[in-house]
A and B are shown apart, each in its own frame.
Chain A
């Protein structure tokens, strides 16, 4: 079980969230009729500053939203996208749900664990290779379905897709990330880093909205629709009224 870092929040840590973060927090709160609705983007916001949701981050959210620390902890510990330990420059998520796993996801994950591990010990789930936050540091996780089964096995770096991977292509990708390169994802926005993406998830694009505007559907995904379109295939029209089947006889 992963746990929060064990230290209580200090004044120095609360200072981590400087005026710009406070301003952003207020901007998030202003988006919702009720302030507590802002909690999810707020947690991404503190994660964009510290690379994880720390106790200071929880206290910060609670204070901004007038919630108790326990209420914020409840949400932060429920969702897996909120990390409890500082993350690396990049977050690599390997899909190990059934289809990807069968297609090679398990092999990819095993390979990356071995590569990123140290002292002969493979890297564990949500563990980081290198110093968290430093260039080239990588946090590895096995993820639940990433919603790209037709392109499996897939992995994501900072939630951007790398489709149709193999153990060796994934290894190359990770080595490139470690050396400071940012290989382009198969589709979607260009690769940045974990904290920048977290800021985007909080709803701040810093004039780079176009980054996330790129086409995200792969050719494979829309192939069926395309063929149907070419051939003029359509689904049968729904009838205007439907007869319910008769009630079963009472016994």
Chain B
């Protein structure tokens, strides 16, 4: 059974043609939260990178990204010091800062052929100055005023393709063929 990949425009238009022809179709949606290093700071376009401007610097897109100031990554529980490498496209490292995302896949099957559209929605950074107790070397913890990076999940309606009520959408975990 063939599976066709569609972009947003193609997927929605294919679905519209089915709805207009009064055929019934079930749309499956698979959503997964991921933090697997797929997206790092060096890949981001300048417009998106600006959101991290208080913490990170780089020469251009796809160049190595360095910490501008010491900061604490609250999601991954990691402390980065000034000049630490946050992301390098040439030498990926599991200690690099990764951006979590929600992977969304929509698919429907008609007459044995499957049409799907996939996209990822990035978590948004939230940067605050906070007083935190952190290890700064030695045995004791010290309360320090430090930048804290948090990641905020995108609102639920941003993962959805908004469809008319005549279309049934089922959320599924994964697809398997017998």
A and B: bona fide binding partners? no
